[in-house]
Chains A and B, each alone.
Chain A
Amino acid sequence: MSEGLSPLDRPNSYIGRAVPRPNLARLLQGRGLYVSDMTLPRMVHVAFVRSPYAHARIAGIDAGAARTAPGVVAVVTGAELAEVCTPWVGVLTHMKGLKSAPQHAIAVDRACWVGEAVAAVVATTRAEAEDAAALVEVSYEELPVVADMEAALAPDAPAIHPDLGDNLAFERKLDAGDVEAAFASADAVAQAEFVFGRHTGVTLEARAMLADWNPGEQRLTVYQGTQAPHMMQNIIAKHLGLEETQVRVVCKDVGGSFGVKVHVYADEMATAALARMLRRPVKYVADRVESFLTDIHARDHRCKGRIAVNRQGDILAFEIDDLTAIGPYSMYPRTSAIEANQVVNLVGGPYKTPNYRARARVAFTNRNVMCQYRAVGHPIACSVTEGLVDLAAREIGMDPVEIRRRNLLPDDSYPAQSASGMKFEALSHHAALDKLVAMMNYPALRAEQTDLRAKGIYRGVGLASFIEVTNPSAAFYGVGGARISSQDGASVRLDAQGAVVCHASVTEQGQGTEAILAQVVASAVGATLDKVRIILGDTDHTPYGGGTWASRAAGIGGEAAWRAGVALRENILKVAGVMLQADPSALDITEGQVIDATGQARVGLDEIARVVYFRPDTLPADFQAELIATRHYAPKAYPFAFTNGVQASWLEVDIKTGFIRLLGHWVVEDCGRILNPQLVDEQIRGGVVQGLGAALFEKCEYDARAQMLNANMADYLVPMASETPDIQIGHIETPTADSMLGAKGAGEAGTAGAAAAVVNAVNDALSPFGVRLAEIPLTPELVLKALGVVL
């Protein structure tokens, strides 16, 4: 590699600049290609008959009327589909003791949640399929329903899967340091029970799949809005009894994922299986009601927490006991125990405190399945930790900023390890907190708060420090036996007119992966951005890799692309050296031109490509040019590249109505090297808004029979622009030394801490009333009850 200026800050570098996304014009002009836009010859549509009961035996299915309805091609039951698609069990070997039951693509003899598919109706249009689905007569025998997490673990609770013995899917305990002694020696102990509502991802585009079995090729092509094409290729092949080479997964435009589209859904597996069975293309696009009933839900934790402090404000210990309920099956293949496991890993994570005890239990219930959604476990861990820290501060009369300054891991203490064993390469809690306090003008807000209180207006400030898991290594899933790649690859090629084409295994979900890769590749090669094309999402064409999840696309996929780009530049310079009779190490490439040490442009990339591709006869006989380079990258030095940050919320509580008005939100975070500041800020803002949704609005409401009551966009409240305050963002940059780019992830930081900051702010606002709220979403009713205004 040619030396000189660091490649990251070469004069023509796009790294660290807010370049426009290459796909923006196309998407804004409505020229995107989502699965629902696609039509294939002989394509048919599937609609599912879904269980109206949370738990019922399927006594019989009469599809007679449906089969003869207009347009109907087939009506397929679970038993029929099971002949082409085997069931799966969502466990991982490193999640010790995790158990689950076999799940079928379509329920075979028993439905375990409201919305589980019990039959598929395939017809020439979706409307006809729905018409006919209404004609399928299913006789159900209701079974006892396990409606919520406490009921699930009651001694006399009916086991949802009798073979498993009980409804406890997973339990983990951790005991670090000397928790007993710490609590015994404390000057003050505070405790609370934190309650987190069940919510869901609400992607703009619903889940969608178009599966096309070609009998001539014996190959299945699956067009899917997915985060992880190679994972899907593996799973579809495995359960349809195919070789992976017989399955191609193509992922075009995706309208948001947030973790919803990284799991294996029964109805999507059924769609692939139906295509195979019917030997023609089958399309499934979830409607909004299906999305609410079957897209993974998340959170739904009840976590008891305790904290011990001394009078000086040193946090002596944390203790938690977390309970969550995941629905009737652990999701496949990532499992539904990861969130609880993360809660155990992350509580207390920003702090020095060595004494920490935790228990987490995961229960089965007859609600919709639950699994990883943006910021897995983080909002729970952060809300519990930061809620406890504020309670401790209140007990000893210390300012919330002060107690954090006293206890956050010092910025010069790295490498460090948390009480739960998380390894930190380098974090910047104190720099972040200092910056946040300055950005928000903390003293001014406190003064305003005091003034307004005298007028009966209650405003509050809430802080939340957090850590975020990014760039996961194989420690996340690979070691547990899942074929989920933690490495990613990129292949970068110089084309005949000097343009650069990059194929990469990470995927675009709307977050800007294409932009990141384009600027990384352009900078690494020395090309201009308009000459770079990025191709993603096709298992036939891209290198093998994990895709988009756990804030890894930029940090891991970007690094692979950087290394491939650097390698291609070296290869190009070898050609240039031969052509110019110069030492390649004295040459460089900038803005598509090979330059010499004086900065003089010597030859363009187009000319190099012309010579290599069309006049190789003019190059020496013993020289073979290679104008393509492929590199892969997997994080090695640390299991995860932890990032850190801190958020603050400023809000007003109307004590007469219980309504909360968000007035301002600040985030300072450290994602290492910032590749594109605009995309990082957008990730943080979007993440914060999802966290605000959890804090104030979003909840999947269930009744005692485990019926979801608000499975529509009118009753399930997502935050909208009017409810969202301005979100100010600041950065600290602590690059990871594990990669050349030094980029860590930024996708989940916003979601990790937003709710914690809001709840702390509400409690701060209501501190004159001694109110301590610890439940989200924080509805007006909860506020009024806490104030004793209504019972």
Chain B
Amino acid sequence: MKSAAFDYVRPGTLEQALQILSERAEGARVLAGGQSLAPALNLRLAAPELLVDIGGLAQFRYIEEGADALRIGALTRHVDVERSEIVARRCPLLSRAIAHVAHPAIRNRGTLGGSLALADPAAELPACMLALDAVIHVAGPGGERRIAARDFFQGVFETALRPGEVLTGVEIGGLGPDRTYGFAELSRRRGDFAIVGLALAARRSSTALSDVRLAFFGVADRPVLARAAASALGAGDMSAARAALATDLKPVSDAQASSAMRLHLAGVLLERAFNETLEASA
């Protein structure tokens, strides 16, 4: 299939981009790495009148560390995260997760902002942001907004982004030497979106985990925090944590897996991700 005809602009500044987006309103679509949007265009699942290519806004391609925070620009490519020494040191959850995002050719072009703005319910990075309690920065005609990841993802391909807004970056706070992570996912083939996946972030004291956040993906219309399981895990009770998943998650059924199978797999991943945190501390 060939995409429907569209106009194309590549603004040089954020202001210009926002200006164009507000003028063209519904008919315009932001283009970042194009790894999700271009297939959608070619399948005619999307037919915007105008593509606003923000690829020229180089200031949004960065990875910066602060005292207890990590800031990543929206146009940072998956490959940048994958190869970043800062990320590996300060937030290894992302280094682990990024290897599961698609294939090298796609990681060369796909961006963090694109992945978050797309909000595929089976994607790794939105779940990581939820587990990390990240704050998502957006800019729009009404100025800048900061949105907690838990409020940002609102459904299948649905986010808190308003028409005319652009995602500019994320900030991940509360980083410190006591942070520990686990990541596990199951996909039929390497690089596919997950059937079920889990991003685990916690704090580790000598005796136990605290502040446990379990963000499951591929189980619902958006990444989900398993709160009851997290508190059971904090109390050191894995079997209670597994059992609690039945109340935390109401997984979807599709051609890949039934709801019951997803729930079962979520339990298996919980154990595996948890074991990873133990190995990391060993």
Contact = CB atoms under 8 A, between A and B. Distances in A.
Interface of A: 125-127, 130-131, 287-289, 656-659, 697, 701, 709-710, 712, 714-715, 717, 719-720, 722-723, 779-781, 784, 789-791
Contacts of A715: 255
Given A289-B1, A715-B255, A720 B261 contact: no
State the majority secondary structure of interface residues on B: loop
B1 A657 contact: no
B116 to A, nearest CB: 20
Interface in B1-58: 1-5, 39, 43-44
A288 B4 CA distance: 17
B255 A791 contact: no
Interface string B180-202: 00000010111110010000000
Contacts of B192: 717
Nearest to A288: B1
Nearest to A722: B190
B268 A784 contact: no
Nearest to B4: A131
B257 A781 contact: yes
Contacts of B265: 657
Interface string B187-219: 011111001000000000000000000000000
Contacts of A791: 260
20 contacts: A130-B44, A131-B5, A657-B265, A658-B261, A659-B186, A709-B255, A717-B188, A717-B192, A719-B189, A722-B190, A722-B191, A723-B189, A780-B188, A780-B257, A781-B256, A781-B257, A784-B261, A784-B264, A790-B261, A791-B260
B275 interface: no
Nearest to A654: B268
A781 B255 CA distance: 10
A289 B258 CA distance: 26
Given A710-B255, A781-B261, A784-B264, A126 B2 contact: yes
A289 B260 CA distance: 31
Interface residues of B, number: 24
Contacts of B2: 125-127, 130
A517 B44 CA distance: 44
Interface of B: 1-5, 39, 43-44, 186, 188-192, 195, 255-258, 260-261, 264-265, 268
Contacts of B191: 720, 722
Nearest to B269: A657
A129 to B, nearest CB: 9
Given A127-B5, A657-B265, A720 B190 contact: yes
Given A130-B1, A710-B255, A712-B43, A717 B261 contact: no
A781 B258 contact: yes
Contacts of A720: 189-191
A772 B186 CA distance: 24
A289 B188 contact: no
Contacts of B1: 130, 287-289
B189 A722 contact: yes
Best-surrounded residue of B4, B5, B264 (most CB of chain A within 10 A): B264
A790 B255 contact: no
A378 B20 CA distance: 60
A37 B186 CA distance: 40
Contacts of B264: 784, 789-790
A717 B191 CA distance: 12
A289 B43 contact: yes
Closest 4 CB pairs of A and B: A127-B2, A722-B190, A287-B1, A790-B261
A657 B270 CA distance: 12
A791 B261 CA distance: 8
A287 to B, nearest CB: 5
Contacts of B195: 780
